[in-house]
């Protein structure tokens, strides 16, 4: 089985390390970014390899909302599934995240099994989209 590559973006190091640890213990390869700007650089270098992006919504400089919108605006990255991570479960944040292009969301704090189940599902979607895109060429 090919290991899946997940990019986790969160400005809170404790949250970032915890998420990465849960994913790595389940066999994922994890790339970490502490802000949206460094995430965009990682995505640019690894866009064909990244299976899923987990994006915190509230970060300094520019938000996860802006990052998601930017990722979804480019043909080379728009099909990468993105899960928004938010510490707020207010309806506005969730609706805005989905509106700008998030494919799923998870409210912090969350159970590790919830995270893993959602990441597995997004990886299946990512695999399907990659196969479909290759076939459609």
- 90 — alpha (psi -120 to 50), left (phi > 0) or beta? beta
Per-residue pLDDT, 91: 84
The number of folded domains in the chain is 1
Give me the tens of pLDDT residue by residue for the chain, a chain 137 residues long: 679 999 999 999 999 999 999 999 999 999 999 999 999 999 999 999 999 999 999 998 889 999 999 999 999 999 999 999 988 777 888 899 999 999 999 999 999 999 999 999 999 999 888 787 766 66
Q: What pLDDT shows up at residue 6?
A: 98
**Residue numbers of the domain that contains 14:** 5-136
Domain CATH code at residue 32: 3.40.50.2300
pLDDT the model gives residue 105: 95
pTM value is 0.94
């Amino acid at each position: 089985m090919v290991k899946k590559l997940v990019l986790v973006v969160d400005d809170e190091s404790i949250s970032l390390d915890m998420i990465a640890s849960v994913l790595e213990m389940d066999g994922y390869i994890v790339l970490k970014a502490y802000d949206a700007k460094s995430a965009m650089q990682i995505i640019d270098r690894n866009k064909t390899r990244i299976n899923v992006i987990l994006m915190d919504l509230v970060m300094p400089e520019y938000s996860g909302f802006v990052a998601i919108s930017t990722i979804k605006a480019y043909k080379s990255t728009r099909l990468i599934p993105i899960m928004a991570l938010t510490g707020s479960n207010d309806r506005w944040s969730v609706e805005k995240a989905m509106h700008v292009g998030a494919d799923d969301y998870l409210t912090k704090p969350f159970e590790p099994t919830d995270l893993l189940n959602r990441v597995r599902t997004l990886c299946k979607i990512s695999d399907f989209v990659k196969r479909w895109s290759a076939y459609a060429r």
